[in-house]
Amino acid sequence: MKVSQLFTKTSKNVPGDETAKNARLLIQAGYVYKVMAGVYAYTPLGLRVLENIKRIVREEMNAIGGQEIIMSSLQRRETWETTGRWDDEVVDVWFKTKLKDDTELGLAWSHEEAIMEMMQQFVKSYKDLPTSVYQFQTKLRNELRAKSGIMRGREFVMKDMYSLHASAEDLDTYYSGAIEAYNRVYDRLGIGDDTYVTFASGGAFTKFSHEFQTICDAGEDVLYVHREKNIAVNEEVLDDAVKELGIEKSELEKVKSAEVGNIFNFGTDKSETMGIRFTDSDGTQKPIYLASYGIGITRAMGVIVEKFADDKGLVWPESVAPFTVYLVRIGGDEATKQADELYAELTSKGIEVLYDDRDERPGTKFADAELMGMPHRVTVSDRLIEAGKLEHTERTSGEAVQLTRSELVARLG
Ligand code: ATP
Ligand code: MG
């Protein structure tokens, strides 16, 4: 893609009310557009990042047998009444609306009950189990505070998966596999080293729920970690946890963190409340064992921004970067010819290139390259051409080396 064709522009201006670093940088670099507090639109650059994150998550969910679906945003009141969660005092983030005939509807803040209601129509017998479904969907939540940029939206993208089982043992096996799949997701997103599976507050140090927390200064949670032992404990269960783990509080480091995912083992609780049963091989009716698995897609993008950005701008890990290379062209006809050729060659090799073909000053192009944060910058200039070289600069280290074109292609390929 050519920068001259991108409708977004980099900008020095950010909305005055935007305090979160992730949103400020993403707005300045032209990745998101702020619609209102907690509500953001994604431009081509931002959408590419989201799609890359989704691709990684999708591959890992497919690998554990997840079947992708997409549910609706409009939900029936009755769907949530069965579990008591239509009540605004039970769920305080509902957005609700009405049909013209005054029938009340909910705007999906979650799809737990909605998916179970649907699955009930398909899963009737032990032969239909186990099964698991997932989706990427926009959730709508009337969050009280929305000061963390895209890390806490009133509208945000979540991956939610649900697995259904005939027995507790079968669920446990699947649940452990899902934890491994989640770890692979965070590794591939580049945040694996700082992401911990914690003992979640809701489950009070049982094995019924787990959070995936990434150490991040902009996060809203507090975590106590033991990096060598790879242990992380939520503040809420700290006292119980240290007792159980046989460690001292002083061994744990207190850090800020962001919940990038969580998983719950409902056992048969939810299906008993909703009356969801299957016919077992002996002909008896039994409640289905259920677990749910969430990942905050847009929150993960925000966390990546917060963790890697520097004073010059965004820094994307290669796996999620919208483009691998930012190609800068400086100079006259020969530079244009050579840059055009390189763009065509890299693109034909499947390397994603954002080509800065604008007639801007070199300083402007370099600053934009840094602000936008692609992992590799390649410069083609008249002066370099005289020496038979190109310049390759890594975004993370800022290190620049001069290479021949074939050396560069080999390096990037
Ligand atoms: P939190 O404690 O942060 O409010 P939650 O417990 O409400 O999260 P879930 O409803 O289980 O979270 O959602 C699953 C995942 O979706 C979370 O782990 C988080 O990564 C993400 N998420 C939750 N709320 C938001 C939000 N308002 N904006 C962006 N991502 C969110
Ligand atoms: Mg919440």
Closest-approaching ligand to the CA atom of 299:
1
- Residue 70: what residue type? I
Q: Which residue has the CA at smallest separation from atom 14 of ligand 1?
A: 294
Indicate whether 34 belongs to any domain.
Answer: yes
Q: Which helix (H) or strand (E) holds 47?
A: helix 44-63
Q: Are residues 236 and 291 in the same domain?
A: yes
Torsion from C-alpha of 324, 330, 334, 338, nearest 10 degrees: 0
Q: Which residue has the CA at smallest separation from atom 19 of ligand 1?
A: 296
C-alpha closest to that of 48 among 401, 374, 386: 374
**212 CA closest ligand 1 atom index:** 18
Can you give the pLDDT at residue 236? Answer: 83
Cα 155 to ligand 1 centroid, rounded to whole Å: 11
Mutating to test ligand 1, I would choose from 150, 210, 299, 303 the residue with most ligand atoms within 8 A of its C-beta, which is 299
Cα 69 to ligand 1 centroid, rounded to whole Å: 20
Q: Are residues 147 and 24 in the same domain?
A: yes
**Residues facing residue 285 across a β-bridge:** 279
Region at 362 (left for phi over 0; alpha for psi -120 to 50; beta for the rest): alpha
pLDDT per residue over 14-42, tens digit each?
888 899 999 999 999 999 999 999 999 99
Residue 370 belongs to domain spanning:
325-412
Closest-approaching ligand to the CA atom of 57:
1
Indicate whether 124 belongs to any domain.
Answer: yes
Can you give the pLDDT at residue 199? Answer: 66
Q: Which residue has the CA at smallest separation from atom 9 of ligand 1?
A: 294
Torsion from C-alpha of 78, 80, 86, 91, nearest 10 degrees: -170
Indicate whether 185 belongs to any domain.
Answer: yes
Buried b (16+ CB within 10 A) or exposed e, 290-321: bbbbbbbbbbbbbbbbbbbbeeebbbbbeebb
| Domain closes at, from 308, 333, 365 | 308
User: Is there a contact between 210 and 262 (Cβ–Cβ < 8 Å)?
Assistant: yes
One digit per residue, the tens of pLDDT, for the chain of length 413 reads 999 999 999 998 888 889 999 999 999 999 999 999 999 999 999 999 999 999 999 999 999 999 999 999 999 999 999 999 999 999 999 999 999 999 999 999 999 999 999 999 999 999 999 999 999 999 999 999 999 999 999 999 999 999 999 999 999 999 999 999 999 999 999 999 999 998 654 444 455 789 999 999 999 999 999 999 898 998 889 888 888 888 888 999 999 999 999 999 999 999 999 999 999 999 999 999 999 999 999 999 999 999 999 999 999 999 999 999 999 999 999 999 999 999 999 999 999 999 999 999 999 999 999 999 999 999 999 999 999 999 999 999 999 999 999 999 999 98
Q: What is the distance, to the nearest Å, from the Cα of residue 95 to the centroid of all Cα atoms in its chain?
A: 23
Indicate whether 374 belongs to any domain.
Answer: yes
Q: Are residues 71 and 201 in the same domain?
A: yes
DSSP letters for 275-342 = T-EEE-TTS-EEEPEEEEEEEEHHHHHHHHHHHH-BTTB----TTT-S-SEEEEEESSHHHHHHHHHH
Cα 152 to ligand 2 centroid, rounded to whole Å: 9
**How many distinct structural domains can be found in the chain?**
2
**CA angle at residue 81 from 80 to 87, to 5 degrees?**
90
Q: How many CB atoms lie within 10 A of CB 225?
A: 21
Cα 21 to ligand 1 centroid, rounded to whole Å: 19
Helices 168-188, 44-63: axis angle to 10 degrees equals 140
Mutating to test ligand 1, I would choose from 186, 262, 266 the residue with most ligand atoms within 8 A of its C-beta, which is 262
**261 CA closest ligand 1 atom index:** 18
Q: Are residues 281 and 405 in the same domain?
A: no
Closest-approaching ligand to the CA atom of 296:
1
Q: Which residue has the CA at smallest separation from atom 28 of ligand 1?
A: 152
- Residue 62: what residue type? N
Indicate whether 318 belongs to any domain.
Answer: no
Closest-approaching ligand to the CA atom of 150:
1
Q: Which residue has the CA at smallest separation from atom 8 of ligand 1?
A: 259
CATH code of 340's domain: 3.40.50.800
Cis peptide before 362 (omega within 30 of 0): no
Q: Which helix (H) or strand (E) holds 389?
A: none
Record the tokens describing residue 108, joined without a space: 């999906």
| Domain closes at, from 308, 339, 374 | 308
Q: Which helix (H) or strand (E) holds 41?
A: strand 39-42
Mutating to test ligand 1, I would choose from 95, 158, 162, 266 the residue with most ligand atoms within 8 A of its C-beta, which is 158
Task: Give ligand 1 pocket residues (Cβ under 6 A).
Answer: 110, 141, 143, 152-153, 156, 158, 259-262, 294, 296, 298-299
**CA angle at residue 219 from 86 to 56, to 5 degrees?**
80
Query: If DSSP codes are grouped into helix, strand and coil, which group holds residue 71?
Result: coil
Q: Are residues 260 and 359 in the same domain?
A: no
CB hemisphere CA count around 4 (13 angstroms): 7
> At a CB cut-off of 8 Å and minimum separation 6, what does 190 contact?
304, 308, 317, 319, 320
pLDDT per residue over 223-282, tens digit each?
999 999 898 998 889 888 888 888 888 999 999 999 999 999 999 999 999 999 999 999
Q: How many CB atoms lie within 10 A of CB 86?
A: 20
Closest-approaching ligand to the CA atom of 221:
1
Cα 259 to ligand 1 centroid, rounded to whole Å: 7
d(CA 227, CA 60): 25
DSSP letters for 185-212 = HHHHTT-GGGEEEEE-TTTTTSSSEEEE
Q: Are residues 150 and 293 in the same domain?
A: yes
Cα 273 to ligand 2 centroid, rounded to whole Å: 22
CATH code of 278's domain: 3.30.930.10
Cα 110 to ligand 1 centroid, rounded to whole Å: 10
Cα 90 to ligand 1 centroid, rounded to whole Å: 17
| Domain closes at, from 247, 273, 308 | 308
Q: Are residues 256 and 347 in the same domain?
A: no
Indicate whether 235 belongs to any domain.
Answer: yes
Buried b (16+ CB within 10 A) or exposed e, 257-266: bbbbbbbbbb
Q: Are residues 296 and 348 in the same domain?
A: no
Q: Which residue has the CA at smallest separation from atom 1 of ligand 1?
A: 259
Indicate whether 24 belongs to any domain.
Answer: yes
Buried b (16+ CB within 10 A) or exposed e, 374-398: bbbbbbbbeebbeeebbbbbebeee
pTM: 0.96
Cα 296 to ligand 1 centroid, rounded to whole Å: 6
User: Is there a contact between 40 and 2 (Cβ–Cβ < 8 Å)?
Assistant: no
